Amino acid sequence: MAVKKEDPKRSQARLIGNVLLLIGAGLLAINIFLPNLFAPPMARVPYSLFVHEIEEGHVARVYIGQDQITYQLRGVSPEIPGDVISTTPIFDLNLPERLEKSGVEFAAAPVQKTGWFGTLLSWVIPPLIFVGIFQLFSRNGGGAPGGLQIGKSKAKVYVEGEATKTLFGDVAGVDEAKQELQEIVQFLKTPEKYTKIGAKIPKGVLLVGPPGTGKTLLAKAVAGEAGVPFFSISGSEFVELFVGVGSSRVRDLFEQAKKQSPCIIFIDELDAIGKARSSGGMYGGNDEREQTLNQLLTEMDGFGVDGTTVIVLAATNRPETLDQALLRPGRFDRQVLVDRPDKSGRLEILKIHAAKVTLDKSVDLETIATRTSGFAGADLANLVNEAALLAARAGRETVLLEDFAEAVERVVAGLEKKSRVLNENEKRIVAYHEVGHALVGALNSSSGKVEKISIVPRGMAALGYTLQLPTEDRFLLSKEEIEAQIATLLGGRSAEEIIFGSITTGASNDLQRATELADKMVTSYGMSAVLGPLAYQKQQNQFLGGMEMARNVSPATSEAIDKEIKSIVENAHTKALAILNNNRELLESISEKLLETEVIEGDYLTGLLAQVKPVEVNA
């Protein structure tokens, strides 16, 4: 998240605001009448739109003046009040009735006083009161800017040389991402080098990864390394209730940025604007988001031709929800994965953050790295801070290992609610499960070479994973090869059975995929001797969104199909169990190693898996 630096003017304003609050709620009630006396750039909309907003129930309150109607939209929450907008009144006798019907608060705007005193008051008091409102609005919201500024981009600019100068050295555990972004730094530093020979500089890079893994930090570091200004804005800030505001903000942001070329624009939570457009179709879509998205696309297509170098970095943890138009060449056509760190990555991150606190000699960061599997960078930063707080609370000068132990528990308790962090026992199970896949997979070369085993939780779905990459493109698979794939899928569960004697819920996805493959063998590929070379696919119902319906076969055939599928899966299960029993020592030694390092890959893994002994199964 972007660090919001409070400028001195604003904190001064806060002080005055506080005083004002003391003056009382009465004054605040009047405040709301006054924005129209001084608010500088208030959006002005046609009267018809105003009426539309009322009918849609978007309007919270209305002040009707002689030559101006000012109204405030309903806020998203008490912390984020709605925008204040004005319109020019027309002769509309139905207005009060309309307002009443929609339950909108309304009042007449105050009459402007004249005379020197009144003039003075209208110059001095309103700004003060404005601050008061602002203060009131942002009191619980941690400084969420009030909705009173419309159209102007809220992007914060970090110019090189400011205190917040971030470099690649401040980011750890994401070496691949750093390497890929190194090139972007070069583009920003010496754009001429590339444009001179006619190369096009990429415009958009998408940073994909779970929250807190350092995407914002990386974007800042790119700016810091290249020594260019950094504009940052969050996708959710773009999306306002009021149509047209988001797109004008995008336009404004790019205008500001182009003036400072070369520079970086960072858009956090891109999915908030970039969601696929069809997704809201049934409910009439979201005009505002669509307009904002279109504006973003237009801006990205537009720049670069005029010799400016603006690179847009955007972060998301849900790339699959993004509109395809965003991912086309010339837009966000590069993706950089920023994943949770493995153990050595966590150690590096801990080193960075621990350098800011005074550690006791007894503290071994490696031990802490081992115990924080599944933590993202932000969790580790939080952990170090928690530990330091605990030490300070106990009146100690240095942070002890036990502070970290307690802090880990606190952070884990917080995380368990949000995402998955495995306890020791679960980690063991996942390790054996994954090694089970790998050992069975090692004997099944048709589906590829096992490249990597990991028990670092990835994304939201998998607790661990075994990566098997095809060594060549395959279009045809034999019956034996599919059977071997099913056995590999069952390898995880089989290992759990052998080692722990019990099974967990972790294998459900494996079982589903295994069953689907077996189903295809029987009903689509004609690979079952019992049912013969016939196709028995399920019917798709085009009205229920392609939902699968029952097969169009007799009950007896249906039963036979189920029996065949079951027998294929069971045979594969027996085979997987046999392989693992035959290689039990290897299963244990690799699993223990995996628990230690969390990731095993490359030649080392190949060497280990070469030791797997095949079994002759005559099932």
9-28 residues near ligand ADP, rule: CB under 6 A: none
Task: Annotate each residue in 305-344 with x if it binds ligand ADP (CB under 6 A) or - if it does not, as one string.
Answer: ----------x-----------------------------
The smaller minimum CB distance to ligand ADP, of residues 351 and 479, is found at 351
User: 58, 215, 343, 428: which one contacts ligand ADP (CB under 6 A)?
Assistant: 215
3-state SS of 498-509 is HHHCCCCHHHHH
Alpha-carbon torsion, ordered 517, 518, 522, 524, to 10 deg: -10
Q: Name the minimum Å distance from CB 249 to ligand ADP.
A: 20
Question: In this structure, are residues 326 and 275 in contact, taking their beta carbons and an 8 Å threshold?
Answer: no
- Return the residue of 180, 483, 510, 598 that touches Zn ion, per CB under 5 A: 510
With CB cut-offs between 5 and 8 Å by kind, which of ligand ADP, Zn ion, none does residue 510 bind? Answer: Zn ion
| Distance of alpha carbon 48 from alpha carbon 54, whole angstroms | 10
Rank residues 52 and 458 by Cβ distance to ligand ADP and give the closer one.
458
d(CA 163, CA 161): 7
Q: Residue 232 binds what, of ligand ADP, Zn ion, none (CB under 5 to 8 Å, by partner type)?
A: none
Residue with the shortest CB distance to ligand ADP: 377
Number of neighbours of residue 227 by Cβ within 10 angstroms: 14
| Shortest Å, Cβ 564 to Zn ion | 24
Which of 87, 216, 316, 528 binds ligand ADP (CB under 6 A)? It is 216
274 binds ligand ADP (CB under 6 A): no
The reply on whether position 594 binds ligand ADP by CB under 6 A is no
Q: Quote the CA–CA distance of 80 and 344 in Å, as a whole number.
A: 41
Task: Spell out the residues 6+ positions from residue 221 whose beta carbon is closer than 8 angstroms to its own.
Answer: 166, 167, 168, 170, 171, 178, 181
Q: Which is nearer to ligand ADP, 315 or 572 (CB)?
A: 315
- The nearest distance, CB 163 to ligand ADP, in angstroms, is 14
Which positions from 23 to 52 touch Zn ion by CB under 5 A, shown as an x/- string? ------------------------------
| 30-38, 99-107, 207-215, 388-396 -> range binding ligand ADP (CB under 6 A) | 207-215
The beta-carbon contacts of 599-604 under 8 Å, at least 24 apart in sequence, are 599/342, 599/343, 599/452, 599/453, 599/454, 599/455, 599/456, 600/452, 600/453, 600/454, 601/451, 601/452, 601/453, 601/454, 602/452
Strand partners, 601: 452
Contacted by 436, from ligand ADP, Zn ion, none: CB < 5 to 8 Å by type: none
Q: Which residue is nearest to Zn ion (CB)?
A: 492
When asked if residue 229 is in the footprint of ligand ADP (CB under 6 A), the reply is no
The dihedral built from the CA positions of residue 318, 322, 327 and 330, taken in this order, carries a sign that is negative
Nearer CB in complex with ligand ADP: 214/229: 214
Residue 435 interacts with ligand ADP (CB under 6 A)? no
Angle at 158 between CA 231 and CA 192, to 5 degrees: 70
DSSP 211-244: TTSSHHHHHHHHHHHHT--EEEEEHHHH--SSTT
The interface partner of residue 314, options being Zn ion, ligand ADP, none and the CB cut-off 5 to 8 Å by kind, is none
Place of tokens 């002994």: 613
Closest contact distance (angstroms) between CB of 345 and Zn ion is: 24
DSSP assignment of 367-424 equals: HHHHTTTT--HHHHHHHHHHHHHHHHHTT-SSB-HHHHHHHHHHHHHHHHHHS----H
**Is residue 526 involved in binding ligand ADP (CB under 6 A)?**
no
Residues 381-400, interacting with ligand ADP (CB under 6 A): 381
Q: How far apart are CA 306 and CA 232, in angstroms?
A: 22
Q: Give the full edge-to-edge strand order of the sheet including 156-158.
A: 156-158, 230-234, 263-268, 310-316, 204-208, 334-337
Residue 453, helix vs strand vs coil: strand
**Contact between 372 and ligand ADP (CB under 6 A)?**
no
CB nearer Zn ion, residue 209 or residue 492: 492
Pick what 372 binds: ligand ADP, Zn ion, none; C-beta below 5 to 8 Å, kind-dependent: none
Scanning residues 480 to 509, which ones bind Zn ion (CB under 5 A)? 492
CA distances from residue 186 to 170, 308, 315, 343, 603 in whole angstroms, order as listed: 19, 15, 21, 30, 33
Q: Scan for tokens 């079951």, then name that residue.
A: 566
Query: Cβ closer to ligand ADP: 72 or 213?
Result: 213
180 is known as an active-site residue: no
Q: State which of residues 181, 206, 208, 217 lies at the interface with ligand ADP (CB under 6 A).
A: 217
Task: Kindly determine how many residues on this chain lie close enough to bind ligand ADP according to the rule CB under 6 A.
Answer: 18
Catalytic entry in 240, 434, 496, 497: 434
* Minimum gap (Å) between residue 16 Cβ and ligand ADP: 31
Nearest to 74, CA basis, from 61, 63, 88: 61
Comparison of 276 and 599: residue with beta carbon closer to Zn ion: 599
Tell me the helix, strand and coil percentages in the chain, rounded to 5.
50, 15, 35
The reply on whether position 378 binds ligand ADP by CB under 6 A is: yes
Closest approach, Cβ 548 to Zn ion, in A, equals 24
**C-beta of residue 260 within 8 angstroms of C-beta of residue 308:** no
Contact mark string toward ligand ADP, 148..177, x via CB under 6 A: -----------------------xxxx---
CA 500 to the chain's CA centroid = 36
CB of 288 to ligand ADP, least distance (A): 24
To the nearest whole angstrom, how small is the minimum distance from the Cβ of residue 1 to ligand ADP?
A: 5
181-200 residues near Zn ion, rule: CB under 5 A: none
Residue 214 interface partner, choices ligand ADP, Zn ion, none, CB cut-off 5-8 Å depending on type: ligand ADP
For residues 423 and 267, what is the distance between their CA atoms, to the nearest angstrom? Answer: 35
Residue 447 beta carbon to ligand ADP: minimum distance, rounded to whole angstroms: 33
The C-alpha atoms of residue 223 and residue 217 are separated, in whole angstroms, by 10
**Strands of the sheet with 105-108, listed across from one edge:** 43-45, 84-87, 69-73, 59-64, 105-108
Minimal distance in Å, beta carbon 344 to ligand ADP? 12
Q: Which residues bind Zn ion (CB under 5 A)?
A: 492, 510
Q: Which residues bind ligand ADP (CB under 6 A)?
A: 1, 171-174, 211-217, 315, 349, 352, 377-378, 381
Write out the catalytic residue numbers.
Answer: 434
